[in-house]
Amino acid sequence: MVGVFNNLEFWQLFFFQDQDIGVEGEFLLNDHFNLLLGRHIIALPKFILILLDWLDLLVHAYKSRTMAANYCEPCTARGMTPTAFRWCSECDEALCSECTEAHKVQKITRNHHLVETSKIPERINLSYNCSKHEHLPFDFFCGNHDVMCCQECLPQNHRSCKNVTSIDLASKNSKQSQSFIDFEEQLSFIFEALYKLNSNCKENDSRIEQQETKIRKQIAKIKEHIIKQLESLEESLLKDLTVIKDKSITRLKRQEKDIGDLITSSKAEKESLEFVRDHGSEKQAFVSIHSSKPVLDEIENKVKQLSESFADTSLTFVESVLNEKITDLGSIELKETPCSFLFVPYKQCQSQVPVVLKRPSTSFAHLYDINTKEDDLKGVTGITISDNNTLVFCDVNAGKVYFCDDNDNFLSSISSPFKPWNIAAIPGTTTAVMSGRTDPYVRFLDIRKRRFSKKVKVGQSGSGSITVTKDNIFVTIKGKIQVLDLHGMVKRIISLKQEQAVNWYISVCPNGNICYSSGNAVHCITSVGCPVFSYSSSDLLYARNAITDDADNIYVLDCESSNIHKLTSTGNLVDILWEESLSEPYVFCFSKDFSKIYIANKRGRTLSVFKKN
């Protein structure tokens, strides 16, 4: 215990944390601390009494230093206390009117920047000292790493850097530099994004309030028809409405608070920047933008996280079908769709490319094309991988099904009794199901024996698309999706909007949502048909199938643009991936470990294998 008490840094940190106690405070602290050490702190109670004694002196010294900031510092040093009304950026001291006039005419200080003390922001980052080595000032700037360095940083981290110069030279004309301009623009950009998000929050708030009123009227209208059984059900329903509404409002208020905090932080950075721009030296401007850059980047990252988590919220009333015995009036559903405002970080906007097209080294790279020997491909439209990593794909023009081993070596092919369109392996089995472009049947395929086992009639196919989960088979018919069990028995039918009817493919996401392509758009619905999102883009010309990775991201294949759109599970665009060897792809599929992508390339006449980076 005494070892802790004998630590001078411990007591300074304990009582004053990172506050500057001044020269007087340091003198008192050292003087009394040495006195205590001389007495060896024999008795703890006695030590505490002495501690309280010099602590009182320290607090007095600290308060005196704080109060001194309101007085002219040169005059205070001469024993006078006139009020200061100007502050010198270079000298870092407050001046009275008399000292200000002297400051303006003296040769060494006449070019210094003077500002009224009332205009000094509460937060301003003008420290010349290195954050890692606080006792040393910034003396150098490394152009290779775009960082400021002190005399200790230089040999430790920048010994081999060639683009190192003094900070005085580097900061010359920094207020007119592109870095300073970018910093100002980044602040404005963040403010604009925050105000848009804040406006979006208020719109959601207003919408929910209005929709609550509308729903209450709907509930009251039903009440008129079934008044005798209504009272208890109404109470329960209104309670659900209030709970859901309150939760939504609470979440929106919390988001508004987060936005407000970011606005406050951004405003402080803006005030600091404007102050340095108008009143600081070139060196201070240079130091300020480089010292504040991590803070601004953190604010921008939080804005990005906020924008990604935003969803337009609305309430709807779903009325139950009234039977002879009324069990409930309906339910309150909370519908969330992605926020219409998509935040793109300033650096991406600055490059004037809204979405960076990834090059092969950062997205996926072509490995090889599968050799089917003498069996030429004519139009592959379906690909799947079984649990034992057998690659199976079908060719609509050749009328065949092909099999490859886990090393992508071609094994054999079999003829199909109809023109196959899509194929999907059922998880946990050695069976796959296959659909035809116009054939009204689903065919069951034994992958191990490489032969068809049975067929199930599903009605006239609209596109021949098929996909599976461990429990169900999903197959498209005109304007609808038919859900079958694993034996082919119909369980239910999901109706789709006519303008969003399935054009090519469907897939089931890990969260149970269903994605399907329709011309130049991709739509996502829940397992019961409720809309989740619709994605379209000027860069998406001809959507084919969609697949998901192990992080629940959705990948959409564009045949005409020969690229892949990467979306979040809520339909927000993450990236557009491009590879120069990709040409008019028809369909694609991930390997089981998501390390490779199989793509029916060149209008399905080549099955290409790509490595996913």
pLDDT in tens, 151-177: 999 988 888 888 899 988 888 888 888
What is d(CA 500, CA 462) in angstroms, rounded to the nearest whole number? 13
Asked if residue 88 is part of any domain, the answer here is: yes
Same domain, 405 and 520: yes
* Closest by CA position to 578, among listed 365, 347, 344, 369: 365
Asked if residue 142 is part of any domain, the answer here is: no
Q: For the residues 389-416, what does the mean pLDDT come to? A: 95
Instruction: Answer with the one of 29, 45, 68 that is the final residue of a domain.
Output: 68
Same domain, 423 and 444: yes
Q: For the residues 431-438, what does the mean pLDDT come to? A: 90
Question: Tokens standing for 583?
Answer: 């040409």
What is d(CA 83, CA 97) in angstroms, rounded to the nearest whole number? 9
Give the pLDDT band (50/70/90) at residue 37.
very low
- pLDDT for 416: 92
Same domain, 286 and 252: yes
CB 335 within 8 A of CB 362: no
Question: In this predicted model, what pLDDT tens digit does every residue of 75-129 receive, in sequence order?
Answer: 998 889 888 888 887 787 889 999 999 998 888 888 888 888 877 776 665 667 7
Domain range holding 33?
Answer: 2-68
Same domain, 323 and 471: no
Per-residue pLDDT for 187 more than 90?
Answer: no
Question: In this predicted model, what pLDDT tens digit does every residue of 249-286 receive, in sequence order?
Answer: 998 898 889 899 999 989 988 888 888 888 888 888 88
Given the structure tokens 């009304």, which residue do they identify?
A: 85
State the Cα angle at 290 between 284 and 293, rounded to 5°: 130
Instruction: Answer with the one of 54, 85, 119 that is the final residue of a domain.
Output: 119
CB 170 within 8 A of CB 186: no
Q: Which residues are within 8 A (CB) of 3 and not within 5 positions of it... i.e. 6 or more apart?
A: none
- What letter represents residue 546's amino acid? A
Asked if residue 233 is part of any domain, the answer here is: yes
Same domain, 284 and 219: yes
Per-residue pLDDT for 385 more than 70?
Answer: yes
Least confident among 36-40, 319-323, 464-468, 552-556: 36-40
Instruction: Answer with the one of 34, 52, 68 that is the final residue of a domain.
Output: 68
Number of domains in the chain: 4
Asked if residue 392 is part of any domain, the answer here is: yes
Same domain, 384 and 318: no
Per-residue pLDDT for 613 more than 60?
Answer: yes
The CATH number linked to 531 is 2.120.10.30
Question: In this predicted model, what pLDDT tens digit does every residue of 569-597 receive, in sequence order?
Answer: 888 888 888 888 899 999 999 999 999 99
Same domain, 34 and 98: no
DSSP 359: P
Same domain, 251 and 345: yes
Per-residue pLDDT for 142 more than 60?
Answer: yes
Per cent of the chain over pLDDT 70 is 79
Question: In this predicted model, what pLDDT tens digit does every residue of 215-245 receive, in sequence order?
Answer: 998 888 877 777 777 677 778 888 889 998 9
Asked if residue 28 is part of any domain, the answer here is: yes
Asked if residue 47 is part of any domain, the answer here is: yes
Asked if residue 608 is part of any domain, the answer here is: no
Same domain, 206 and 307: yes
- pLDDT for 467: 95
What is d(CA 206, CA 190) in angstroms, rounded to the nearest whole number? 24
pTM: 0.45
Q: Which residues are within 8 A (CB) of 63 and not within 5 positions of it... i.e. 6 or more apart?
A: none
Same domain, 548 and 438: yes
Asked if residue 288 is part of any domain, the answer here is: yes
CB 149 within 8 A of CB 164: yes
Q: How far is CA 569 from CA 246, 438, 457, 529, 566, in A?
A: 26, 31, 33, 16, 10
Q: What is the mean pLDDT of the chain?
A: 81
Q: How far is CA 329 from CA 241, 318, 326, in A?
A: 12, 9, 8
Same domain, 77 and 61: no
Same domain, 43 and 87: no
Per-residue pLDDT for 377 more than 60?
Answer: yes
What b/e sequence results for 513-544 when a residue is b if at least 16 CB atoms lie within 10 Å of its CB, and e otherwise? bbbbbbebbbbbbebeeeebbbbebeebebbb
